[in-house]
Amino acid sequence: MSPSFARIKRCTYLAFVFILTVEAIFLVCEAGARIYLMHYGDLDFVQAFGTPDLLARKEIRKEIAVIPGMGYHEDLCPGYQRGLNRHNSLGFRGEEIVMPKPRGEFRIACLGGSTTYETGVKDWQKAYPAVLESVLRHRGYRVTVINAGGPGFTSRDCLVKFETLVAHLDVDMVVQCTAGNDLAFRSIWPPRHFRPDYAMPADIGTTYFHCYSIADYSVSLRLLRNLLYGDRDLDCRGQDGNEPARMLFFHAVKQYSEGIYPDGILKTVSLRDVFAANSTAPFHMNVRNIVSVATTANITPMLMTEPVFTEWLPKDAAGRDLYGVLKDGMDEINGVTRRVAEESGVLFYDLAQSWQAEARYGKYSVDFFHNNEYGAKLKAELVADFIISKMGDKLPRL
- Report the distance separating Cα 111 and Cα 158, nearest Å: 6
Asked if residue 379 belongs to a domain, the reply is yes
Q: What percent of the chain has pLDDT over 70?
A: 78
Does 288 lie in the same domain as 161? yes
Mean pLDDT, range 370-393, rounded to an integer: 94
When pLDDT is averaged across residues 222-226 and rounded to a whole number, the result is 71
Q: Specify whether 286 is located in the same domain as 367.
A: yes
Pairing of strands 300-304, 347-349: parallel
Evaluated on CA atoms 198, 199, 203, 204, the torsion sign reads: negative
In this structure, are residues 124 and 86 in contact, taking their beta carbons and an 8 Å threshold?
yes
Which of 11-25, 69-83, 172-186 shows the lowest mean pLDDT across its residues?
A: 69-83
Residue 314 has a pLDDT of: 75
Q: What is the pLDDT of residue 258?
A: 84
Q: Are residues 1 and 49 in the same domain?
A: yes
| Same domain for 133 and 221 | no
- Whether the per-residue pLDDT at 62 is higher than 60: the answer is no
26 and 117: one domain? no
Give the rounded distance of the alpha carbon of 322 from its chain centre.
Answer: 20
> By the 8 A CB rule, do 119 and 370 touch?
yes
Domain holding 318, by residue range, is 75-184+279-394
168 and 216 fall within a common domain: no
Task: Identify whether the C-beta of residue 115 lies closer than 8 Å to the C-beta of residue 369.
Answer: yes
Sort strands 188-189 and 235-236 into parallel, antiparallel or unpaired.
unpaired
- Position 56 in a domain: yes
pLDDT of 100-124, one tens digit each?
999 999 999 999 999 999 988 999 9
> Is 362 among the domain residues?
yes
Domain count for the chain: 2
Q: pLDDT at position 298, please?
A: 96
Q: What is the pLDDT of residue 193?
A: 83
Do 11 and 158 belong to one domain? no
Buried b (16+ CB within 10 A) or exposed e, 119-149: bbbeebbbbbbbbbbbbbeeeebebbbbbbb
Could you say which DSSP state residue 269 is in? Answer: S
Indicate which CATH number applies to the domain containing 286.
Answer: 3.40.50.1110
Q: Is 19 part of a structural domain of the chain?
A: yes
Task: Count the Cβ atoms, other than its own, within 10 Å of residue 220.
Answer: 19
- Closest by CA to 184, choosing from 214, 206, 154, is 154
136, 81: one domain: yes
Number of other residues whose CB lies within 10 A of the CB of residue 229: 8
Burial of 88 (0-12, 13-18, 19+ CB in 10 A): middle
351 membership: H or E segment, kind and range: helix 351-358
111 or 224, which is more confident? 111
pLDDT band at 208 (very low <50, low <70, confident <90, very high): very low
The answer, yes or no, to whether residue 228 has pLDDT greater than 60, is yes
Residue 272 lies in a domain: no
Residues 60 and 82 in one domain: no
Amino acid symbol at 262: P
Domain presence at residue 297: yes
How far is 122 from 84, CA to CA, in rounded Å? 6
Q: Is residue 292 part of a domain?
A: yes
What pLDDT is recorded for position 344? 96
Do 114 and 222 sit in the same domain of this protein? no
Residues 60 and 88 in one domain: no
Contact 375, 359 (CB under 8 A): yes
pLDDT of residue 381: 96
Task: Check residue 202 and report its DSSP letter.
Answer: S
- The reported pTM is 0.79
In a domain, 92, yes or no: yes
pLDDT tens digits, 252-290? 888 888 888 888 888 898 899 999 999 999 999 999 999
DSSP helix/strand/coil, 113: coil
Average pLDDT over residues 74-101: 85
Kindly state the DSSP code that residue 96 receives in the 8-state scheme.
Answer: P
- Rounded to 5 degrees, φ, ψ at 349 are -125, 120
Q: Quick one: 100 and 180 in the same domain?
A: yes
**Rounded Cα gap, residues 327 and 330, in angstroms:** 5
